[in-house]
Amino acid sequence: MILKKILHVEDDPDILTLVKVSLERSAKVEVRTCDSAAEALAIAPEFQPDLILLDVMMPDMDGIDAYAEFRKIEVTSETPIVYLTAKSDLDSVTRMRDLGASDIILKPFNPMRLNEKIDVIWQKHKLGMTNPN
């Protein structure tokens, strides 16, 4: 299975643009961006992402609650979810892993290497080596 579609949920417009440009140019994937979890949850059934990049700290609904909501949607119930977050303290990282996050990418990240990181995560997912959801 080839990674074709990524749903990126992030409230910072600069990071949304940076990730979209980086991944579409380098990894040749379609990236759908949403600036809120509510928007992402609404479009996920139609978009049917192969992978979800999810921020943790967002207004209205944080990434932890959004994770649980994505799991309730049939087409995203088993989609790998990768947190892209500045929350790097041990408790936060442990909580994200305990939820079943496939991986965690910490901000700030190198946009020139983001596609490589996503590719490694995707390859591990295909081999069943990521954290179970």
Q: Tens digit of pLDDT for each residue in 34-86?
A: 999 999 999 999 999 999 999 999 999 999 999 999 999 999 999 999 999 99
Given CATH 3.40.50.2300, say whether it is the number of domain 5-126.
Answer: yes
Mean of the per-residue pLDDT values of the chain:
93
Angle, CA of 26, 99 and 110, to the nearest 5°:
25
Token reading at 104:
């965690």
- 3 has pLDDT over 50: yes
Whether 93 has a pLDDT exceeding 50, the answer reads: yes
Q: Are 51 and 9 in contact (CB under 8 A)?
A: no
**Does the structure show a pLDDT above 70 at 131?**
no
CB-facing half-sphere around the CA of 126: CA atoms within 13 A: 10
Q: pTM above 0.85?
A: yes
